[in-house]
Amino acid sequence: MSGTAGLRAGLIGLGAMGRNHARVLNLLDGVELVGIMDPAPGAAGPAGVPVVPTLDQLLDLNLDYAMVACPTALHEEVGLRLAAEGVHALIEKPLAPSVEAATRLADAFEKAGLVGAVGHIERYNPSLQSLRSRLEAGELGDMYQVVTRRQGPFPGRIADVGVVMDLATHDIDLTAWVTGRDYLNVSARTVSRSGRPHEDMVSAVAALGDGLMANHLVNWLSPFKERSTVITGERGSFVADTLTADLTFYANGANTTEWEAIRAFRGVAEGDMVRYAIPKREPLLVEHERFRDAVEGKESDIVTLRQGTRTVEVAEAVLRSAVDGATVDVRTK
C-alpha cells in the first residue's frame, strides 16, 4: 500500500536502513515510492515497487526526490548525480566520508537550488525534541556539561567506516543541535579491538561555546545497548534515553543539613525527579515528513547539508586527535 500519490520518491540502497526507509516511504502521505535502486541480485522492496540495478534506470522514473541509503563511500558520487539531474535528496548520515566530499555535495545542491538534507535521525527522537524545547525555554538555567553514551554490539551491516563516523556523528550532531552551541575543540582516544580495519571504540572530550563541556563514549564492543544523553546545569540534570524515548529531570534539592562536614561542601543536594509524558512517534517517520514538507516548500526542521558537513568536520577532528594525541581546534573561521 503506497502513501497518497503526490511527490515521486526513489530509494537508493536496500540494506538494513534502506528497508526501513522503504517501509516508511511506501506509507508516507503525499508521496509515492515509484522505484528502488539496488544492484544486489534478488533485492526486493515493498509489493508493487520496482527494484532496478542502476541509478540511470531509477532516474528514468522521473523522481522528485530520492532517499540515499547506500554505503557512505558512495554518497558523493550518487548525490552529485542527483543534483545534476535536479532531484532533491535526503542522504543518510554521515553525509560523506570526508569534509571535502561533504562540501562538494552541499555546494552542488545549493547551486542547483535543490533541497538537500542529512538523515541524522536522533534529532527526531521524541526525548531529544522535548529536551531541546525545554533547554530553549531555560528550564535548566546555565548548561555545564553534556555526556553521551552510545554503546552496543557490532552491527554486521557496517563495513566502510568506523564507530566515529557511523555512531559518534549522531552524538556530535545532537549535542550541537540540542544545546545550540558549536564545537570549539576536541580531544579523543580510539582503540580497535575486534580485528577490523577501523576503530571500534572512542572516548572524546570537547569544549563548546559559552564554557559548555561535552564527553562522548561510543563503542561497538558492549554486549548491551545504551543510548543516553545527560545534560547537567544550574538547576539539575536532564537524562534522555533515546532507546525508550524517555526524558527525566533530576532537580537540584534545597535540603539543608546540620552535619558541618557536608555543609561546608558547596555542592548540590538530591531533589525531585520528574519523568515526562511524551508523545512517541517513530523518529524515521517524522524525519521523512519533515523532508517531504521541505521539498514542498514549507517551513521545516531538516538537517541541512551544511550542518551535516560540520558534523563530518568535527568527526574528522576526533579521529585526527586520536592519531596525533593532541587537542584539535575546530572553531569555524
Length of the chain: 333
**Kind of pairing, strands 213-219 and 143-153?**
parallel
- What's the rounded mean pLDDT across residues 162-174? 96
- The dihedral over CA atoms of 217, 221, 225, 231, expressed in degrees to the nearest 10, equals 0
Residue ranges of alpha helices (H) inside the chain are: 16-25, 55-59, 75-84, 99-112, 126-136, 163, 169-179, 260-263, 283-295, 305-324
Q: Give CATH for domain 123-281+312-329.
A: 3.30.360.10
Share of the chain above pLDDT 90, in %: 87
Please list the helix, strand and coil fractions of the chain in percent, rounded to the nearest 5, in that order.
35, 30, 35
Residue ranges of alpha helices (H) inside 138-189 are: 163, 169-179
- What's the rounded mean pLDDT across residues 128-139? 98
Nearest to 37 by CA among 48, 47, 50: 50
- The residue whose grid cell reads 580485528 is 195
- What's the rounded mean pLDDT across residues 225-234? 98
Domain boundaries, the chain: 7-122+284-301, 123-281+312-329
Fold of 7-122+284-301: Rossmann fold (3.40.50)
Give residue 333's pLDDT.
75
- Cα(123)–Cα(143) distance, integer angstroms: 19
pTM of the shown model: 0.93
- Cα(57)–Cα(51) distance, integer angstroms: 9
Q: Per-residue confidence at 220, pLDDT binned at 50, 70, 90? A: very high
Q: Per-residue confidence at 201, pLDDT binned at 50, 70, 90? A: very high
Side-chain-side CA neighbours of 206 within 13 Å: the count stands at 31
Residue 270 has pLDDT above 80, yes or no: no
Residue 258 has pLDDT above 60, yes or no: no
